[in-house]
Structure 1
Amino acid sequence: MIGWIVDFFFHMLRLLARLLRRAFSWLGWPFQALRRWYARRGWILRTTVAGVVLLFLGLYGYFFWQTQIWHGFDPDYVRAYGLEGRGVSAGEQVAATGDAGARTCGRSAITDVAADLTDFNVNENAWITSMLLYKLGFFGLDWDDTPFFDNKASFQRGVNQTVRRTAVELVDALGRVRGTSQIDSDLQKARENIQFSEDAWYFGLNPFGPKTPTPSFYRTAITSLRSFNDRLERCEAVFDARADNLIQFLDRVANDLGSTSAILRERSENYNAGWFDTRADDRFWFAYGQLYGYYGMLHAARADFEDVVAQRSLESLWETTEDQFRAALDITPAIVSNGREAGWIMPTHLATMGFYILRVRSNLVELRQVLDR
């Protein structure tokens, strides 16, 4: 009996080995045929083919490096600004010094953070979404539809969403007196450039012809944002740090996060493939990028609206809200899973991220209600 069992398992192992050999042979025959074809060609053609292969290997090596290495990523990046107790709101005159009485006004921390986040996206790191190999996809399949090489791109788009939203508020309200004065030209340029398509490369089909790539537009936006802040520091620009502008800014942030929460909920409720949901990581890292960006924006807003926060005694509630943002940034799973909420094998990272977003949004709504009393 035991001998029969041993023979059976040996037979199964031999069968498995034979199947594997055939499978590898079937998978390898195109490469074998290509090798034979290559060996029969002339040295000019072989050199050309080898150069093309090396070029693609180099491009994919660079692509792999840029998508996997996150330069400058730091969930505690707000500490570097040292905004605690700055003592002056954005646009508020600090002093008049020298015989000429040159004035100095408070810089906008919101504008600094917006410029720095964009710099982090396109200068400290490569902008993944407009890279050629990202646009080509995986054998024609969009990288967002695969579990590979798209996490950083989604994160960057989430961060960029916060800058886009903030740029609109800077132009429409914060960089004008009561929203009725002339639009600041630097802020207008920044908004136009940061709103540019996220996936433009040096050449496009629609319209056909050469193009300016996305990172170039975003770098121009950085220059415009910093130019505005330099003029603001010289008291040559306006930052309207009123309570109603802060209320509107918090409303816009809360609404933006609410939209993302709805996207997470839809994916979590209708797709429960666990680790095999290839779109779950896109949704997760986009939301993470938004929280990463808005964490800095909220921290900066407290400094820019310092007088308003102090007058309304918002310090404790504001700190709690920032703590909620920071807590959400601790969720960095190696593999994003979209399992059932009642499941016990595969976790549900989308539902977890949605919970943190709703908790943050609830705090923002509470801040807004206190300000509106």
Structure 2
Amino acid sequence: MLDPIIAFFQRVFAAIGRGIGMVVAWLLWPFLAAHGWYRERSWIIRGPILAILVLLVIFYGQFIYRTQLWHGFDPAFVQAYKFDERTVPAGNPLPGEANRCQDSAVVAISAALTDQNVNQNAWVSSTLLYKLGLFGLDWDNTPFMDNKASFQRGVNQVVRRTAIQLADNLGRVRGTSGINNDLQNARGNIQFDESTWYFGTDPFGFKTPTPSYYRAAVESWNKFNTSLVSCDAVFDTRSDNLLQVLDGMASDLGNTSDILRRRSEEFNAGWFDTRADDRFWFAYGQLYAQYALLQATRADFSGVIRERNLTTIWTEMERQLQAALRIQPAIISNGSEDGWIMPTHLATMGFYILRVRSNMVEIQSILDR
């Protein structure tokens, strides 16, 4: 009785096996044909081809190394700066030390975040192989090799916003004094295009690559802090300046939350959404940078935070950021919010972003009274 059934399934599995074999043979045929052609050629032809193949292996090996290894990644890296041990706000004279002022934690962390992006790591977005894409397809439109680039751009978005605040508000007295040259130079350099390589076509010719500009911004920030320590520069820790800093961060989070919402609602493809990973890691990079800079801001504006009784809510805001940064899935999924197989990492990240933003808005309302 069972023999016909067994025979049927044997034929089915045999057919599936033949189909898989045909697919594999179809995929391998170009390589086998190329190998046969290559073996019959002389070394005059084989030598250059072999050299090109070796160079491709080296270039792509370096590319994979740059995109997959994250050096210096640590959401808690700010703790090494021991900002909680500072006793005076940024720019104020240090007690018992003549002609010595407190440097700015915000400036130091802006430099550290950028240093992590371009010195401790390669700036992925402007590398040649990243710009070439996968057979002409932008890496951002694939599930491969783009997570680190998106994370770096998220960090850089926050640092750019901070650079504007430093030059326009924090580094001058009530906006009436002249703009500090170092902060002005840093702002200009950090705003440079994120994807410039050594050569380009628009306009055509050789160019200075993106990382060089960002390294120059790091140098300018370090120079400013050196001047601040010598009391030769200004860092204005007024409550309205703190309000401006938080307003910029909240605005960025609101925009990112909307991007995550639209992607989550319109593309419920689960693990097969090829753009979910870069959306997630861009948002993660923003929170990573904001968490670091908010700890620095707390040190620089310690007087205002203490006078306005903001310590408790500020601590809660940092706790929300810590919780968000613990989300580090190996594979990003953009599933339906009521799904039961594929998770929805974008909606989860958006939830944490809104919680952090609500804390920021609450602090702003207190400062604005």
Provide TM-score, normalisation by structure 1. 0.97
The equivalent position to 2:189 in structure 1, one of 187, 193, 198, is: 193
The runs of 5 or more residues in structure 2 that have no matched partner are none
State the distance in 1 between where 2:177 and 2:146 align. 42
Contact 1:112 1:225 in 2 (8 A): yes
Report the secondary structure of 1:103's partner residue.
Answer: coil
Match of 2:317 in 1: 321
The equivalent position to 1:156 in structure 2, one of 133, 152, 177, is: 152
State the distance in 2 between where 1:51 and 1:210 align. 26
Match of 2:339 in 1: 343
Shift of 1:45: 2.1
Q: How does 1:57-206 map to 2 (within 5 A)?
A: 57-95=57-95, 97=97, 102-206=98-202
Shift of 1:113: 0.3
The 10-residue stretch of structure 1 (199-208 or 5-14) with the greater mean CA deviation from structure 2: 5-14
Shift of 1:85: 3.6
The equivalent position to 1:259 in structure 2, one of 232, 237, 255, is: 255
Q: How does 1:187-336 map to 2 (within 5 A)?
A: 187-336=183-332
Contact 1:145 1:279 in 2 (8 A): yes
Contact 1:95 1:103 in 2 (8 A): no
Shift of 1:271: 1.2
Shift of 1:216: 0.9
The runs of 5 or more residues in structure 1 that have no matched partner are none
Shift of 1:96: 6.6
Letter in 1 for 2:250: A
Report the secondary structure of 2:75's partner residue.
Answer: coil
State the distance in 2 between where 1:233 and 1:39 align. 68
Contact 2:75 2:292 in 1 (8 A): no
Shift of 1:20: 2.0
Match of 2:31 in 1: 31
State the distance in 1 between where 2:93 and 2:297 align. 18
* RMSD, matched Cα: 1.1
Letter in 2 for 1:78: V
State the distance in 1 between where 2:49 and 2:207 align. 29
State the distance in 2 between where 1:16 and 1:58 align. 38
State the distance in 2 between where 1:44 and 1:187 align. 57
Deviations 1:29-63 (A, max 9, x none): 21122112212322122111111111111111111
Shift of 1:71: 0.9
The 10-residue stretch of structure 1 (200-209 or 32-41) with the greater mean CA deviation from structure 2: 32-41
Match of 1:15 in 2: 15
Provide TM-score, normalisation by structure 2. 0.98
Shift of 1:75: 1.5
Contact 1:96 1:103 in 2 (8 A): no
Report the secondary structure of 2:100's partner residue.
Answer: strand
State the distance in 2 between where 1:23 and 1:235 align. 72
State the distance in 2 between where 1:267 and 1:20 align. 35
Shift of 1:17: 2.1
Shift of 1:5: 1.5
State the distance in 1 between where 2:255 and 2:132 align. 29
State the distance in 2 between where 1:14 and 1:368 align. 69
> After TM superposition, what 4+ stretches of structure 1 lie above 3 angstroms from structure 2?
none
Letter in 2 for 1:202: Y
Report the secondary structure of 2:303's partner residue.
Answer: helix
Percentage of pairs with the same residue: 59
Contact 1:274 1:338 in 2 (8 A): yes
Letter in 2 for 1:188: Q
State the distance in 2 between where 1:159 and 1:115 align. 12
State the distance in 2 between where 1:349 and 1:19 align. 36
The equivalent position to 1:369 in structure 2, one of 347, 354, 365, is: 365
State the distance in 1 between where 2:17 and 2:322 align. 52
Contact 1:91 1:240 in 2 (8 A): yes
Shift of 1:285: 0.5
State the distance in 2 between where 1:250 and 1:16 align. 60
Contact 1:112 1:229 in 2 (8 A): yes
Q: Give the number of aligned pairs.
A: 369
